[in-house]
Amino acid sequence: APGDSVWHQRPVSKELWTEGFWPGILWYAYEYSKDESILEAAKGYTEVLEFLSEMPAYDHDLGFVMFCSYGNGYRLTGDERYKEIILATADRLAELYNPAVGTILSWPREVPAFGGHNTIMDNMMNLEMMFWAAKNGGNKSLYDVAVRHAEKTMECHFREDGGCYHVAVYDTLSGDFIRGCTHQGYADSSLWARGQSWAIYGYTVVYRETGDKTYLDFAVNIADMIMSKVTTDDAIPYWDYDAPVLEDTPRDASAAAITACGLLELSTFAPEGQKYFDYAEKILKSLSSEQYLAAPGENQGFVLMHSTGSLAHGSEIDVPLNYADYYYLEGLQRYMKLKGIEYKNL
Ligand code: GLY
């Protein structure tokens, strides 16, 4: 919270969606620095999460938690044990898939509150682990689950203008779409900023993994919508595009960082790729300015300031968040790769 000068660490838990980001940050930091002490820390903070691959999924966040940690860990070490854990986790996540609906149940515990099978836009981010598992020795049907989830979400979860609801509620038995609503946004039909970021990142991944041009066109549409809705000069959005803007309306740097990652990948596929690259570059430059970057030593090591976790719940407003840092680092890495900048030249 603003003014805090100490870390808030908690024991690992099946209920924390953010606990894969810190190991993920350490993996990116190790990749950059090749520092052995960071490698040891990355392994340690990753391996405490293994229990999640061995129990029924608490919710869809399993993908965030395990792919940012073990996924990066496997990418950088090739440790076969990590791979087995990812494959097991992808199977656990697939247990939340409801074939009558065609999507993964995001929050089993919220079924009574929403009155049906609920799927949130954030869930698009967890398809990448399923695609990866299907391609790397896991259950091949995970590919079909991921594609069907993306297809049904595309059909039901979006408004005419290309923006999305946060939550879609479906009839558990018939699979019919009941309604779109919000959990963390300003209003049911408003554009919660981070939700739009999950959408652009998620659908770009679906195009990468399927090669189906429908998803490329869809991702382009989301990207254009985001770029048309952002009203700030520095391209860092307010927490919800439709919330009234007052003097103290907070930004969400995390939404910007996630969008930058999505746009950078999209720029490699889309006919007008340069436009998306340029916008992502603008976001990264803003995030790298004094306005957003914590001064060295501030925030106990967090990199970015000015993110918003859930204003709708009065929680984590205008604060540093570990997922903002994670996607900022990922965005910088994507940017450097596309520009041909090597770490050793820095
Ligand atoms: N996935 C939860 C959030 O974006 O806040």
Would you say the CB of residue 316 lies under 6 angstroms from ligand 1?
Answer: no
Would you say the CB of residue 43 lies under 6 angstroms from ligand 1?
Answer: no
Q: Residue 170: beta bridge partners?
A: 117, 177
Which of 59, 61, 240, 252 is the catalytic position?
61
Q: Are 316 and 286 in contact (CB under 8 A)?
A: no
pLDDT along the chain (346 residues), means of 10: 70 96 97 96 98 98 98 98 98 98 98 97 98 98 98 96 96 98 97 98 98 98 97 97 96 98 98 98 97 82 90 94 97 97 71
Where would I find the beta strands (DSSP E) of the chain? 97-98, 103-104, 117-120, 167-170, 177-181
Residue 161: the pLDDT is: 87
Residue 111: the pLDDT is: 97
- Ligand 1: atom nearest CA of 310 is 5
Residue 304: the pLDDT is: 95
Give the global pTM. Answer: 0.97
Q: Are 318 and 279 in contact (CB under 8 A)?
A: no
Which of 35, 59, 91, 122 is the catalytic position?
122
Would you say the CB of residue 122 lies under 6 angstroms from ligand 1?
Answer: yes
- Ligand 1: atom nearest CA of 323 is 4
Residue 4: the pLDDT is: 66
Q: CA-CA distance, 212 to 279, in Å (whole number)?
A: 24
Residue 285: the pLDDT is: 98
Structure tokens at 3: 């003014």
- The model's pLDDT over 116-171, given as tens digits with 9 standing for 90+, comes to 999 999 999 999 999 999 999 999 999 999 999 999 999 999 998 899 999 999 99
- The model's pLDDT over 216-252, given as tens digits with 9 standing for 90+, comes to 999 999 999 999 999 999 999 999 999 999 999 999 9
Residue 328: the pLDDT is: 98
Residue 13: the pLDDT is: 96
Residue 6: the pLDDT is: 73
Q: How far is CA 344 from CA 52, 75, 76, 112, in A?
A: 36, 19, 17, 53
